[in-house]
């Protein structure tokens, strides 16, 4: 998951609330200290952390617990709300025809992010076109052209021509029939005067609806300086935090942007073209705290599966026969990496963990599972608990697999079923909690 270490630390802190006999000042102080440690390790500004800590303590100890909510749920709700306040609002980018100008320093991941943004709109049913106006960096033209070709996205550029403004003018005219026009501009090692001049000239020609600044998540708190500088120089509509999956300073970058007059539009969560997410603070914090992100999961399912039958209700109820499991895993594989998908589910309370090997369901394994299940009776498929040693031997013989393969399938099914059932409650009912928090 993006910012795994921060998420795990925050979940561990909230587990103290879930397990505590009563919510008193000592418990609140312990939890706040753990949250402070987690945020500071993620490079969040000390001043912001101390302000948030003060708010949590005051609210947890002085606010009246709302009707129908336990003291534990109330404190967790406060932490959730205060974390959202630290990150701030998000930039709303509508799904309609528009022109977007991409800006940023060299090495921020701007060119790759440009192709990911084109893919994002493509997944939403819009037709994107990309103009390469980066005439400064050698290889920028070929890199962006290759990325767009792989995605079947319309591309315009003029290799070797240093006239970025002219390229933009001709490119926008060439691609005018596309819904979304994205202009990738040149970066520099710093915000130099010639870069500002070029961006202003491109801006005058492109007349973009949005200007998105791409920042590398690894810069942490420095994100505020860059965002403020770009905003003061040419004005920006929003920020894209790239490479958020590979840094421990992501919390610092996210919170730093909120200190400026900017907001976050998208976050880069991986290396594939589909690994760009629209940023929404409430969904992000919910996932970080182990509460899942059902809205994003449903959106991802609709994008990947279209009209296919994806039984989300059955999945969330934990009603998982072997037949159900194979069908759902087949669908989930189309939606992206299993780990990303499973972490959108609220699995049984704060800090609930799924073993790493539960994510390793490859196409080869699915193929072997299908062969094994073809050798099972309908009764066994619907009720795997009846499969004992004699049945395991028969299934292995009939499928041409080893008995260990049958046991692996049954073990995996049991592990997944337990994880899904965790959504429904237990000692700490996550589903109920999410409703009370308006999620």
CATH code of the domain in which 402 resides: 1.10.260.30
Residue 277 burial (CB count, 10 A): 22
CATH code of the domain in which 186 resides: 3.40.50.300
Task: Decide which of 121 and 318 is more confident.
Answer: 121
Start-to-end CA span in the chain (Å): 20
**Residues 6 or more apart from 424 whose CB is under 8 A from it?**
317, 318, 431
- Domain range for 205 is 98-279
Same domain, 272 and 418: no
- Side-chain half-sphere CA neighbours of 117 within 13 A: 36
Query: How many domains, in total, are found in the chain?
Result: 3
109 labelled binding-site residue:
yes
292 labelled binding-site residue:
no
Report if residue 219 sits inside a domain: yes
Cut 0.75: pTM above it = no
Report if residue 257 sits inside a domain: yes
**Cα dist from 199 to 99, 216, 240, 260, whole Å:** 15, 20, 18, 21
Per residue, what are the HEC states of 43-95?
Answer: CCCHHHHHHHHHHHHHHHHHCCCCCCCCHHHHHHHHHHHHHHHHHCCECCCCC
Same domain, 120 and 189: yes
Phi, psi (degrees; rounded to nearest 5) at 64: -75, 135
Report if residue 352 sits inside a domain: no
Same domain, 115 and 78: no
- Note whether 282 and 84 are within 8 A (CB): yes
Same domain, 59 and 144: no
Same domain, 64 and 143: no
- Note whether 437 and 294 are within 8 A (CB): no
Task: Please state the rounded mean pLDDT for residues 285-311.
Answer: 64
Task: Decide which of 371 and 114 is more confident.
Answer: 114
Q: Tell me the sheet residues that pair with 129.
A: 154, 181
Same domain, 262 and 128: yes
105 labelled binding-site residue:
yes
Report if residue 373 sits inside a domain: yes
Same domain, 235 and 123: yes
262 labelled binding-site residue:
no
Same domain, 85 and 112: no
Report if residue 403 sits inside a domain: yes
252 labelled binding-site residue:
no
For residue 180, give the nearest of 133, 132, 130, 143 by alpha carbon: 130
At residue 132, the pLDDT reads 97
Provide the 3-class DSSP secondary structure of residue 351: coil
Q: Which of the four pLDDT bands, split at 50, 70 and 90, describes residue 227?
A: confident
Same domain, 139 and 14: no
16 labelled binding-site residue:
no
Report if residue 168 sits inside a domain: yes
At residue 273, the pLDDT reads 92
106 labelled binding-site residue:
yes
Report if residue 330 sits inside a domain: no
Same domain, 264 and 115: yes
For residue 411, give the nearest of 327, 322, 329 by alpha carbon: 322
Query: Largest Cα–Cα distance in the chain?
Result: 77
Report if residue 333 sits inside a domain: no
Residue 199 burial (CB count, 10 A): 21
Q: What is the pLDDT of residues 145-174, one digit of tens each?
A: 999 999 999 999 999 999 999 999 999 999
89 labelled binding-site residue:
no
Same domain, 76 and 210: no
Query: Is 50 exceeded by the pLDDT of residue 18?
Result: yes
Same domain, 255 and 385: no
Percent of the chain exceeding pLDDT 70 equals: 79
């Amino acid at each position: 998951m993006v910012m795994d270490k921060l998420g795990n630390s925050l979940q561990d802190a909230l587990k103290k609330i879930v397990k505590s006999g009563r919510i008193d000042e000592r418990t609140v102080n312990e939890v706040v200290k753990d949250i402070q440690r987690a945020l500071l390790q993620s490079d969040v500004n000390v001043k912001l952390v101390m302000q948030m800590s003060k708010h949590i303590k005051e609210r947890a100890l002085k606010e009246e617990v709302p009707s129908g909510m336990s003291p534990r749920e109330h404190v967790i709700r406060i932490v959730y709300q205060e974390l959202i306040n630290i990150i701030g609002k998000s930039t709303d980018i509508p799904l309609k025809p528009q022109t977007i100008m991409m800006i940023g320093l060299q090495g921020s991941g701007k060119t790759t992010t440009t192709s990911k943004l084109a893919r994002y709109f493509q997944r939403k049913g819009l037709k994107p076109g990309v103009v390469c106006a980066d005439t400064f960096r050698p290889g920028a033209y070929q890199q962006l052209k290759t990325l767009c070709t792989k995605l079947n996205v319309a591309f315009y550029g003029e290799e070797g021509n240093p006239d970025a403004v002219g390229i933009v003018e001709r490119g926008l005219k060439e691609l005018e029939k596309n819904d979304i026009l994205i202009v990738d501009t040149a970066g520099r090692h710093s915000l130099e005067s010639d870069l500002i001049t070029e961006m202003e000239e491109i801006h005058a020609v492109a007349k973009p609806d949005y200007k998105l600044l791409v920042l590398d998540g690894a810069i942490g708190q420095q994100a505020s300086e860059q965002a403020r500088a770009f905003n003061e120089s040419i004005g920006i509509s929003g920020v894209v935090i790239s490479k958020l999956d590979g840094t421990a300073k992501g919390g610092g970058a996210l919170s730093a942007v909120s200190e400026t007059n900017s907001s976050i539009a998208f976050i880069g969560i991986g290396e594939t073209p589909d690994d760009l997410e629209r940023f929404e603070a409430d969904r992000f914090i919910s996932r970080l705290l182990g509460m899942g992100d059902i809205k994003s999961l449903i959106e991802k399912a609709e994008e990947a599966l279209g009209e296919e039958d994806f039984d989300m209700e059955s999945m969330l109820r934990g009603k998982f026969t072997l037949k159900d499991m194979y069908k759902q895993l087949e669908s989930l594989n189309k939606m992206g990496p299993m780990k990303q998908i499973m972490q959108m589910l609220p699995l049984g309370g704060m800090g609930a963990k799924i073993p790493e090997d539960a994510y390793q369901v490859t196409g080869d394994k699915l193929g072997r599972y299908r062969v094994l299940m073809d050798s099972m009776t309908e009764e066994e498929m619907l009720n795997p608990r009846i499969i004992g040693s004699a049945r395991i031997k028969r299934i292995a013989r009939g499928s041409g697999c080893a008995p260990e393969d049958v046991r692996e399938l049954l073990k995996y099914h049991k592990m997944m079923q337990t994880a899904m059932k965790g959504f429904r409650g237990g000692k700490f009912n996550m589903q109920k909690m999410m409703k009370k928090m308006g999620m």
